Amino acid sequence: MFRRLREDIDSVFARDPAARNFFEVLTNYPGLHALLAHRCNHWLWQKNLKWLARTLSTLTRWLTGVEIHPGAKIGRRFFIDHGMGVVIGETAEIGDDVTLYHGVTLGGTSWNKGKRHPTLEDGVIVGAGAKILGPFTVGAGAKIGSNAVVTKAVPAGATVVGIPGKIVKRDEPDMEEMPDFDPERREAIRKKFGFDAYGVSQDMPDPMARSMQAMLDHMHAVDERIERMCSTLRKLDASYREGKLPELRDEDFAEILEDMDGCCPPAEAEETPRQGRPNPPGDKATGTGE
């Protein structure tokens, strides 16, 4: 028992740089208090003293702000940082070296009896406010981002963020696919327009960025195919001439630009009144303002 206690305290030192000494950790870390109480409550639960186990777990929740059902299975070196608001359901299973931050919920999505809560394998880290809901497995070494809502299984070593949770990184990804576009052509188009739309790059982990990149790649592929078609038509018909797209003139958008300018005047307009436009009443620039 004392060896397990020492192991739990050492895990705090390993994962919290604010921990200074043994006595401070033992007396001032509610996550450690909740874990020690749970080990006792879980033993009572297994001995079929379920009312007593639930009552003690409720008292522990009042004292620490951490609610751990006595039926939950927790491995070694489990660490709850800060602790407040953590909820761990009855059928949850937690492996070794798992870290939870405050506000984490390991909950269920069904009222049926049986396995309802998630299983966290060894080395999982769950960020503050994350919700992991359902009877699935989060693989070893996975990381769940703060405030993520995870409702599907997570492979080992993956990183999940967002609502709903999306995998943005894999520890051992599949073989990288070769791009079906010409990187040099993409760069040429980027230089032609003078910017890279939305600052999207191929290696960005954001799922929305990847979706945008896929649309840009499709646009580049369509543009290349049209040019090939035009080239073929010129070869088949010497009289074929490639038409040019009409240019966009400022005059065509004068009214729209004027409306936008009126809604959101530039910073310079606030300091210097425009020529040909009357100054608003009370403007200090006219000398009539109060």
In angstroms, how far is CA 279 from the centroid of its own chain? 49
pLDDT band at 62 (very low <50, low <70, confident <90, very high): very high
Between residues 28 and 170, the one the model is more confident about: 28
173 falls in which pLDDT band (50, 70, 90)? low
The arithmetic mean of pLDDT across residues 2-23, rounded, is 77
Residue 276 DSSP symbol:
T
| Residues pairing with 144 in the sheet | 126, 160
**Cα–Cα distance measured from residue 73 to residue 93, given in angstroms and rounded to the nearest whole number:** 5
* CA proximity to 77, closest of 135, 142, 139, 10: 10
Confidence of residue 194 (pLDDT cuts 50, 70, 90): very low
Using a CB cutoff of 8 Å and minimum separation of 24, what contacts does 149-158 make? Answer: 150/118, 151/109, 156/121
pLDDT of residue 269: 46
Mean pLDDT over 201-214 rounds to: 60
At 131 the pLDDT is 92
Of residues 281 and 256, more confidence is placed in: 256
pTM for the whole structure:
0.57
Segment (H or E) for 107: strand 105-107
d(CA 23, CA 18): 13
Task: Kindly report the number of other CB atoms within 10 A of residue 105's CB atom.
Answer: 22
